Amino acid sequence: MTEMKHLCRQVLLATGTLALVTGGAVAAEEETSFDPEQFFTQGMEDRQAGKPYSSIKAFQSVLNNQPALNRARLELAVAYLQTLQYQQAEAEAMKVLDDPDTPPNVRVSILAFLAKVREEAKQLEPRHESSASIAVGLLFDSNVNVGPDSETININGQDLTLLPGSSAEEDTALTVNLGVDHSYHTGMTQQLGERTGIFIWQSGANYYHRGYTSEDEFDLDILSLWTGPAMITNGNWRGNLNLQYDHIRLGGSELANFFSLMPSATWSIDPHTELTAGVDIANRNYVRSGDQGRDSKYYAFDIALGHGYMNNTLGVQGGIEYISNDADNERYSYSGPGLFVGFNWQYEPRSQVYGRLGWRQSDYDGPEPLPPVSRDEDEIKLLLGFSHQFENLWELNLDYLYLDNDSNIALYDFDRDQLSLTVSRKL
């Protein structure tokens, strides 16, 4: 982009002599109520202010009245380039190049400008891009069955001993993750105010398996499929709209099917700061007979602000979220806010450390059978990780996840530690 600005500056400076020539022709004409200098100045100011579409209108007004003013025509070509209208940019530059009165030094600059326009135009040609990935890992889980911290819990003033296997059970597991992504760059653009959006269609599939060594009734399989449009602007924002299907199996049996609509958008406030907002709207259907009351309409919203330090090698992010799960049985309906902060530090080109700390409150609508009160819970989740990419493109990840769920009902009060070692590679 810096190279392009320098090239455009060369073209425009080189047209100074030409502008004097055409300017003399303008001066010889009869005075009219139209002031080309006013519109030319307005066009320059609009473009410098990041309003290239307004700039195009101003320069077009000049040329509609003074078609021989090649300085304005080249300024128009630059504005077309900034809005990704490459054919128009080339056409306007060619008109000046074909003018026999164009000086030789200007022709050289225009030829360099045209070469750059044609090179950038290739990036807008329709194309397909695909990638695949594989990850294999080992996991230690201190609470596979999400059991209470103690084998003895107090209910209604009585100490009760849980059945074997109901309290926290630890185990190790093998994890496998396979993914495929596809992007179709359509070549289509759309004016969005003073910005130009580029349409992309993204699709993908992912399969995750966690197989425990002993507690195989808690083996987890998740198949995810998604597709949807995305838009990237040549300005300060991007967004996407994903449709996603998740098929979940637990212990080798079908557990649930989730259908989700997930729009999100990111605004670049400056080169180091971004604001991201996302929504997740899901229809969650459970298959097992004992889970029918869990069928729900799930809604989640989050907004996060991120900032980069140390040449963007250190990123810090913080945000808020709100979740509402409207289930068929009020016992499983809940809602509540959340907060999170995180960081990512790439201390070497191939190595980074990262972390995230989150808090979430969940207030349930309906009472539990024992005791007959509604759950009120606070969840704290801490993730710390390290990753390193080797020269052969394999990547090593070491993650530690701590989860503490503080509930007003002892049966749901638990903590959980997970330590995982994963190697992965894009294919």
How large a percentage of the chain has pLDDT more than 90? 82
| Dihedrals phi, psi of 76, to nearest 5 degrees | -65, -40
Q: Give every CB contact of residue 139 below 8 A, 6+ residues apart in sequence.
A: 172, 173, 174, 175, 210, 418, 419, 420
100 pLDDT above the threshold of 80: yes
Convert 258-296 to b/e letters by CB count within 10 Å (16 or more is b).
Answer: bebebebebeeeeeeebebebebebebebeeeeeeebbb
Residue 29 buriedness (CB in 10 A; 0-12 / 13-18 / 19+):
exposed
Predicted local distance difference test score (pLDDT) of residue 28: 41
Predicted local distance difference test score (pLDDT) of residue 236: 85
Predicted local distance difference test score (pLDDT) of residue 162: 67
SS3 state at 32: coil
pLDDT, tens digit, for every residue of 153-178?
Answer: 666 666 666 666 678 999 999 999 99
| Dihedrals phi, psi of 192, to nearest 5 degrees | -130, 90
Asked if 280 contacts 298 with a C-beta cutoff of 8 angstroms, the reply is yes
Residue 39 buriedness (CB in 10 A; 0-12 / 13-18 / 19+):
buried
Q: How far apart are CA 425 and CA 346, in angstroms?
A: 19
Predicted local distance difference test score (pLDDT) of residue 378: 98
Predicted local distance difference test score (pLDDT) of residue 167: 84
Confidence band (pLDDT; 50, 70, 90) for 16?
A: very low
Cβ count within 10 A of residue 51 = 19
Helix (H) or strand (E) run with residue 87 in it: helix 86-98
Predicted local distance difference test score (pLDDT) of residue 156: 62
Average of per-residue pLDDT values in the chain: 90
Question: What does pTM read for this prediction?
Answer: 0.85
Q: How far apart are CA 75 and CA 43, in angstroms?
A: 8
Q: Give every CB contact of residue 174 below 8 A, 6+ residues apart in sequence.
A: 136, 137, 138, 139, 210, 211
Asked if 421 contacts 136 with a C-beta cutoff of 8 angstroms, the reply is no
State mean pLDDT over 258-265. 98
- Between 121 and 24, name the one with better pLDDT: 121
Asked if 91 contacts 71 with a C-beta cutoff of 8 angstroms, the reply is no
Confidence band (pLDDT; 50, 70, 90) for 344?
A: very high
Dihedral, CA atoms, 392, 395, 396, 400, nearest 10 degrees? 170
What residue spans define the domains of the chain?
A: 2-124, 127-426
Q: Which CATH class is domain 2-124?
A: mainly alpha
Q: What angle do CA 143, 149, 151 make, to 5 degrees?
A: 105
9 pLDDT above the threshold of 70: no
Q: How far apart are CA 307 and CA 318, in angstroms?
A: 9
Predicted local distance difference test score (pLDDT) of residue 209: 98
Confidence band (pLDDT; 50, 70, 90) for 411?
A: confident
Predicted local distance difference test score (pLDDT) of residue 154: 63
Q: How far apart are CA 91 and CA 103, in angstroms?
A: 19
Lowest mean pLDDT among 8-22, 108-122, 397-411: 8-22
| Dihedrals phi, psi of 230, to nearest 5 degrees | -140, 155
- State whether CATH 2.40.160.40 applies to domain 127-426: yes
Listed in order, strand segments (DSSP E) in 193-295 are: 195-212, 220-233, 237-250, 253-270, 273-286
Nearest to residue 378, comparing CAs of 358, 402, 351? 358
Cβ count within 10 A of residue 348 = 10
Q: Give every CB contact of residue 194 below 8 A, 6+ residues apart in sequence.
A: 50, 51, 52, 53, 54, 235
Predicted local distance difference test score (pLDDT) of residue 371: 85
Confidence band (pLDDT; 50, 70, 90) for 31?
A: very low
Q: For 425, which DSSP code?
A: E
7 pLDDT above the threshold of 90: no
Nearest to residue 286, comparing CAs of 298, 295, 277? 295
pLDDT, tens digit, for every residue of 60-91?
Answer: 999 999 999 999 999 999 999 999 999 999 99
Q: How far apart are CA 80 and CA 89, in angstroms?
A: 5
Lowest mean pLDDT among 151-160, 230-239, 343-352: 151-160
State mean pLDDT over 78-105. 95
25 pLDDT above the threshold of 50: no
State mean pLDDT over 200-225. 97
Residue 91 structure tokens: 């056409």
Q: How far apart are CA 308 and CA 427, in angstroms?
A: 30
285 pLDDT above the threshold of 70: yes
